[in-house]
Amino acid sequence: MNRKLVAGVDSSTQSVKVVVRDSESGELVREARGAHPDGTEIDPTIWWDELNKSLSGVLEGVEAIAIGAQQHGMVTVDEAGSIVRPALLWNDTRSAQAAADLVEEFGGRSNWAQATGSVPVAAFTVTKLRWLADSEPEIAKRVAQVMLPHDYLTWKLAGAKSNPTTDRGDASGTGYFSPAENKYRLDLLKLAFSREISVPEVVAPNAIVGETFNGIKLSAGTGDNMAAALGLGATSGDVVVSLGTSGTAYAVSEVPSFDESGIVAGFADATGKYLPLACTLNAARILTAAAQVLKVDLAEFSKLALAAQPGAGGLVLLPYLDGERTPNLPNASGTMFGMNRNNMTAENFARAAVEGMLCGLADAVQALIELGVQPKRISLIGGAAASEAVQKVASTLFQVPVVIPPVAEYVADGAARQAAWALSGETTAPTWQVGNTLVLEPDFHSDVLAAYRASFKALHG
- Contact residues for 355 (Cβ-Cβ < 8 A; gap 6+): 310, 311, 312, 316, 317, 393, 397, 448, 452
Q: Do β-strands 247-251 and 238-243 pair in parallel, antiparallel, or remain unpaired?
A: antiparallel
Q: Identify the active-site residue in 10, 224, 238, 269.
A: 224
Beta strand segments in 236-387, E: 238-243, 247-251, 265-268, 274-280, 316-318, 335-337, 377-381
Element containing residue 145 per DSSP (H, E): strand 145-147
Rounded to 5 degrees, φ, ψ at 85 are -155, 165
DSSP string, 176-235: SEETTTTEE-HHHHHHHHSS--B-PEEE-TT-EEEE-TTS-EEE--EEHHHHHHHHHT--
* Contact present, 205 and 169 (Cβ < 8 Å): yes
- Are the C-beta atoms of residues 193 and 129 closer than 8 Å to each other? yes
**CB-CB contact of 317 with 351 (8 Å):** no
The amino acid present at 436, given as its one-letter code, is N
Select from 91, 103, 220 the least CA-distant residue to 168.
220
Catalytic annotation present for 224: yes
Cβ-proximal residues to 74 (8 Å cutoff; 6+ apart), any chain: 87, 88, 125, 128, 129, 132, 146
Cβ(191)–Cβ(176) under 8 Å? Answer: no
How many other C-beta atoms are found inside a 10 Å radius of the C-beta of residue 450?
12
Helical H segments across 252-334, by residue range: 284-294, 298-307
Distance CA 215, CA 210 (A): 9
Catalytic center residues: 224
